[in-house]
Each structure stands twice: as C-alpha cells, then as structure tokens.
Chain A
Amino acid sequence: MSGQALCYEGVSFTYPDAGVPALCDVDVQIPEGAFALVVGATGAGKSTLLRAANGLVPHFTGGSFAGRVIAGGRDTLVHPPRRLADVVAFVPQDPAASFVLDRVEDELAYGMENLGVDPAHMRRRVEEMLDLLDIAMLRDRSVRRISGGERQRVAIAAALATGARILVLDEPTSQLDPQGAEHVMAALQRLVHDHGVTVLLAEHRLERVAGWVDLALGLDRGAVRAGEPADVIRSLDSGPPVARLGRLLGWDPVPLTVRDARARIGSANGRHGSPSQTTVTPGLPTVAVGGMEARYGDGAPVLRDVDLTIGEGEIVVVMGRNGAGKSTLLRMIAGVHEPSAGTVTVRGRPPRPGIDVALCPQEPESVLFTDRVDHEVAATLKARGRPLTGTAHLLERIGIEALAERHPRDLSAGQRMLVATAAIAATDAPVLLLDEPTRGLDPASKDRLTRFLRERAADGSVALIATHDVELAAGVATRVVMLAGGEVVADGHPADVLGDSQVFAPQMTRVLGPGWLTPEQVAEAFA
C-alpha cells in the first residue's frame, strides 16, 4: 500500500502566552517512504512542526491548536503521543536527555516493553536494530558513556525498534563530527531505501543532508512550502555553500551537492586562477600553551604535548572527532582546569576566567538566568563593572536586536546560543572561546557571527572556536588546529589543513580542489 505517512491539514498552532503563531495554516502531505527535510531560519518553527507529528505538540505544550495531523492514519489530537508510539518514532534534539535506561541494549528494548511486544520477538528485534545501526559493539555499554555520534545512533535504533514506520528527527547531526554525520545519514538512507521507512528531519547544516533527501519542507515564520529540495532551498535563499556559489554565479538550477556543482563547473574549469589566500600576520602572542598535558582524575591523559601560541587578531578553529579533546583544550585555556603537566598562560600569566578569557559553553542554558535577552547582556556588563550603554550595540552586532525583550527560555536552541554568545562576549575579554557555537544556527545567523568575530579580531582580540562545522571553519578561521587522540596532528592555514583532509574538507575544496574555501572566494576568481 502506498499512501500518505503524515498529513498536516490546515494546522495552526500558538504556544501559550505567545503573541505570534508558531505554525500558520500548514497543509502538507508526506508520502510513505519519503526522505523529507525541514529547512528554515533559526526559530522558524521547525521543532514545532516535528513535534506535532506525534502529538507532543499540543499534548505536552498546551497552547491553541487548529486543524489536524494524521500520522499513520491516526489523528494526533485524539491519540496522545503514547498511543502513537507504534507508528511514529521521535528522536529529540538532545538524545542524551531522552534516554530512560542505562544499558544500550535495555534502552533499545524500552519502547517494545511498553508496547507489550512478545519477549522472543523483542530479543530478535533488538539484534536487528544493533546490526542496522551498526552498534552491536555498544550493547553492554552505558548510554552515558558513549560518544555523541554513538548516542545519536542508539537513539535512532531505540526509536525504530518499536516497529514505527515514521521516523522524526530534530537536528540529528548537530552534535556529530563530519564522519559521524555521514554514518547517521547513510543509516537513515538505508532505512528509507531498503525498509520503506518514512523519515522527516530538521537540519541547518544543509551541506550534510541536501544530497540525501527527496522532499523538502521550507518553513518561513510558521508557513510551509513543500517541494523538490532544489526549489525549496532556492526559494528560501539559503542552502549549502554550493548553492550559495550557484547563486553568486547566477547558475540555474542552483546546485545542491558537490557532484552537481562539479558537473556545472566542469565546463568553466581552467577559467579561474589559483585561489587567493588571505594570511593574517598574528600580533603579539596572547595565548601560550607549552607542553601541556590534561587529564581528569587518574585516567589516561585527554590531551598530550600540546604546544600552541596564539597571537592578537587570530581566529583559531579547533577541529577533530567527537571526543578528540577539543572542549578540554578550551577549558584548559580558560583556566578552569589545571594542566597535569606543562603551562598555559594568557598575556604572560595564568588565565583569569571571565577577565582574560571568556567561554561560551556548548549548552547555552547553563548561563541564561534573566527574564529578558537584553538583561542577560546587561548582567555580564554589570558584573564586569562596564557601562550598560553597550547592550543595544552588542545585540545588534550579533544580530539579535529584535529579540531584546523576549524571554531567553522562549527562544529556539539556535537563538539561545546567540544570546549566550552575546552575554559572554560582553565580558570584553581579550580571548573569546566558543564551544560548538553554530548548533541550531541558520546560515544567515552564522554569517553574522562570522562578521562579529572578524571585527573583534581586527581590533586585536583572539578567538578560539571548537567546532564540527567545517564550513564555519572555512569561512572564519585564520588558522585551523586539528586534534586527534589528544594530540595536535595539524596546525596551519585553513586552506592547507582542510584542503588536505578527506573528512574535514569544505564543499569548495571538494568542488575545486585544495585552497578554495568559501563561495565568495570562488565567485571572485570567476568574475
């Protein structure tokens, strides 16, 4: 039987106490076996749309809901989420927070236990899921002690184990390194192609997903437009770097994948020169790390023999697999963790947290405590004894002036990240550390963040960014440090370090070869 897996029929939804609706009159059908992508700006309503698929909206949120959603033939208003558990499987943005049990194998069986699946069948199905997501080696591990990528795959396996034919995922690759993201996408594609599962996912890093999906839902302030991925992405004026390149060069249709772009550029090849490299000459050394080793408790060292000197005006991007030691390096430089060997200094002395160095954590929720976005920035300024008059200007530079009076907890994950970044940047510390700052950020917000960091660097400040986002690295870094197994394995100009890598190469490098980093750079050479 081939029909519609998910139908949104005239769905409008407003959160309690919210002025504007999160979804307006959404009419979309997602056919069985579709691989559908939800795209849209930060805070456009993507999570709301996904959470309506199994009735979490409105059953868990309250608010006013009009129209109806039919999932696998069931009306979500009549059936609460638990009554839809056998047809819709949902993987939230942070899978770690959704795990119920401790052991991977038990976690996989949890949904089936609730559905009353026969034990013999359950046993077989757990094994199938372990194979399907390639996590058999994790079966006895604790869900709290596996890497981010592994957690994501365990969450997907646990969701699918119930036998649900519709899989809904909220930003499944946002915490993963490029290789981990690739694994998850390949696993999803296999589910769609070989098993006929319907997949609906939201994602900002379009370069990771655009080539895999066959249907796109473009969200703009709560309104949805569904269609071919190329059409939708074009209409939203966003897209992966290859799409941006296509737009800059006036290509029609706009390419979505590296392959499309290569085919298109093939004819033009040779017309462009060699890439122009902008090298920043670092000013006076600000951060100095010498022979540093880091360990937690008496475990094995997380970082070994790290030597790093960062000068004024440098923007250093730290990359590496999940668990390579990126966050630890940031915490050492921030001065909250003592090195077990070697030295860390900022401007010649041990770093003073919050004064010489400020760090924006991966979870922005850890710092937000006021009831308004502008108050959040003001709180930092006040603590640092600086005039509060700078608040509006700082919000504007990061591009969140329109959110000034909103409550930080009412914002989307990406918007919260920007608010936290503003609150941290308000310290005006000469060294700014950002841990995975582009989670949940749309390309436009990412551009603004990039501009902001460049302006700061021009004034001689230092930024150190740990991220999995290769396109951010290509766009903002003056230098890239690659970590593996706790050691620095590469350190140099982004064109050299990223151009040299199979895994971490940005899209422009993949299209045109080493040295090419951003669409703007390519467009300039072609003009």
Chain B
Amino acid sequence: MSAHRALHPGAWIAWATGTAACAFVTTDPVYLLVLWAVSWFVYAACRVPEPTARSFRIFLVAGVVTLLVRTALVFLGTVTVSNTVAAALEGLRLATILVIFGTFNAVTDPFGVVRLAPRRFHEPALAAALALSIAPRTVTSVQRVREAQRLRGIRVSPLRSLPALAVPVLENGMEDALTLAESMDARGHGRGRRTRYRPQGWTPAAVVTAAAPALAAAAFFWAAFGDWAELHPPTSPLGWPDADGWLVAAALLPALPGLLPRGER
C-alpha cells in the first residue's frame, strides 16, 4: 500500500473545518446523525493504511464518552426530562465534532500538514501535529507494555501494579518525543530558510473536497442567522425535531470526497 498523497492536505483541513462548522451551529439530532454517518463514510472510503487511521477509533470512543459524560452531568443538579435531553443533544454535538476530527486524522498525515504551514506558523503547527500523534501512539504503547508485563507475570489493572503500566508508557513517550526532537534538530529543523519539496497542486478532487463542506456550512450558517429553518429542536417543552429537507441535503455534501474515483481521493 502506498502512503497517501493524492490530495492536497489543505483540502482536508478545509473539509474538517467546514463539516465541523455545520455540527457547531445545530443540536438537531437528525443533522448531527447525518454528519456522523457522512464522517464515517468518508473515513471508510478515504482512510490511509494503518497505523495512523487507528486514531479514528480513539476519537470515536472519545466522542461516545463525551456524550455520556455530558448527559451524566445533569444528574448533579435537578433532573428533568427536558434538561437531560438538552444535555444529551449538547453531548451529541460535541461527539460529532470529535468524530469529524477523527476522520480528518485518519485520512491525512498530521505531519504532512505541518509542511504546509506558512513559515511563521510552523512551530505551532508542529506542536499541534505532535499533540495529534500522541493519542494513537499512547494507545499502541499501552497495549504493548500491558502485554510485555503480562508475559513477565505482572498483571496490570487500574487497581494493581499501575506503575508497571504507567511508568514505561510515560517514559517511552518522553523518550520518543526527545528522539524525534533530536532528529529534527540534527536534520536542520528551525534554521529559518525553508523550501518545499514537490508542493502539491489543487486538483479538481481537492477543490471538491474543500468546497463541498464549505457550501454545507454556508447553508447552515444562513439558516442560523437567516432563521429560515429550526436548528435546535425544542426541549422545553419537549418536541420532535423538525428537520428541513434542504439542510439534510446540505449535511450530505461533505460525503462527496468519499465518492471521488479511487485514484484521486
């Protein structure tokens, strides 16, 4: 399998931003579930081979946890059906944004995005890429250490022998980060004058990938500010969501990159 390089990474940044923007302005479960499904579809169609793509699952789990935690928070105060539903929808919105983010992580290499950053944003972009790569690497590291300790006769559980898991995971993480930092420095990172190797062009496929979610986001913002469709279902009193056909169609737009011919996406 070849490493993914067909699409300009900027197209994926635009895709993630546009799709997440749609989710950001609504709590209607119909739109959110459509966006969730679209995100999953794009992930399935466009993901790069393992192991980067594994991070999708992490974001998916994080999304579900967020949803549950946000809902559970209600139980700290007065519990009514309305505010439980409101909290759950709030949680669903956050979870959808996380899943969109997970797809972004799975379809493009975060370090590829760093190369794209303008020189003055290079350092923050790098920090962001490093931060993004921490979650999947930690998960792999946890699995590896847990297995290694088990084969040494030490069973690790949250209640027992936690240092046997946590210490190697944290120290390996630190050592890896340091090795990477050393390697980057030794290879001249941060000398200032940077050129770019084989900059990627904006192919029609990249334009579609970037433009489709932007169009969707425009429709959602227009609805939000123009008030021609309801984006937040009534929770007090409780009512059924009243999804607008046009907006459902708009929410489907970000699925387009998944339909592009294989060679181009």
A-side residues, CB < 8 A to B, are 54, 56, 59-60, 80-86, 88-90, 92, 94, 97-106, 109-119, 122-123, 126, 140-145, 158-159, 162, 334, 336, 353-355, 357-359, 361, 363, 365-370, 379-380, 383-384, 409, 423-424, 427, 429, 433
Contacts and interface: CB of A to CB of B under 8 A. Distances in A.
B154 A82 contact: no
B190 A102 contact: no
9 contacts: A81-B182, A85-B188, A105-B197, A112-B195, A123-B197, A144-B52, A354-B151, A379-B164, A423-B152
B131 interface: no
B53 to A, nearest CB: 11
Contacts of B191: 82-83, 85, 114-116
Contacts of A104: 3
Interface residues of B, number: 57
B171 interface: yes
Given A116-B195, A117-B195, A354-B153, A159 B187 contact: yes
A189 to B, nearest CB: 23
Given A354-B151, A358-B152, A383-B152, 11 more contacts: A86-B188, A97-B180, A102-B52, A113-B115, A113-B197, A122-B195, A140-B3, A158-B187, A369-B168, A383-B161, A409-B171
Contacts of B112: 101-103, 106
B236 interface: no
Interface stretch (B38-46, B92-100, B141-149, B255-263): B141-149
A398 to B, nearest CB: 15
B198 interface: yes
Nearest to B52: A102
Contact of A427 (B152, B180, B186): B152
Nearest to B192: A116
A383 B153 contact: yes
B124 interface: no
A369 B187 contact: no
Given A114-B194, A365-B168, A102 B151 contact: no
Contact of A90 (B5, B149, B186, B197): B186
A21 B112 CA distance: 41
Given A103-B5, A122-B197, A80 B185 contact: yes
A111 B195 contact: no
Contact of B197 (A83, A112, A353, A361): A112
B186 A102 contact: no
Contacts of B49: 142, 145
Contacts of B195: 112-113, 116-119, 122
Contact of B180 (A82, A98, A144, A384): A98
Contact of B154 (A89, A159, A383): A383
A358 B151 contact: yes
A115 B176 contact: no
B152 A367 contact: yes
Contact of B111 (A102, A336, A357, A369): A102
B185 A353 contact: no
A56 B187 CA distance: 11
A90 B187 CA distance: 8
A102 B3 contact: yes
A119 B164 contact: no
Given A113-B196, A366-B144, A366-B145, A82 B186 contact: yes
B189 interface: yes
A83 B191 CA distance: 7
A421 to B, nearest CB: 11
A116 B168 contact: no
A59 B215 CA distance: 50
B2 interface: yes
Contacts of B199: 119
Nearest to B175: A365
Given A141-B3, A354-B151, A101 B194 contact: no
Contact of A380 (B52, B147, B152, B194): B152
Contacts of A143: 3
A406 B190 CA distance: 36
A334 B151 contact: yes
B130 to A, nearest CB: 10
Contacts of A111: 187-188
B153 A109 contact: no
A332 B228 CA distance: 62
A366 B188 CA distance: 31
A429 B151 CA distance: 10
Nearest to A369: B167
A361 B148 CA distance: 7
Contact of A162 (B144, B152, B168, B188): B188
Contacts of B249: none
Interface string B150-171: 1111110000010110111001
B138 interface: no
A188 B195 CA distance: 28
A424 B147 CA distance: 13
B76 interface: no
Most buried by A among B3, B112, B115: B3
Contacts of A427: 152-153
Given A100-B180, A353-B151, A365-B168, A109 B144 contact: no
B139 interface: no
B120 interface: no
Given A366-B144, A369-B163, A424 B109 contact: no
B51 interface: yes
B255 to A, nearest CB: 25
A118 B193 CA distance: 11
Contacts of A81: 182, 185-186
A379 B154 contact: yes
Interface string B65-77: 0000000000000
Contacts of A354: 150-155
B197 A85 contact: no
B173 to A, nearest CB: 11
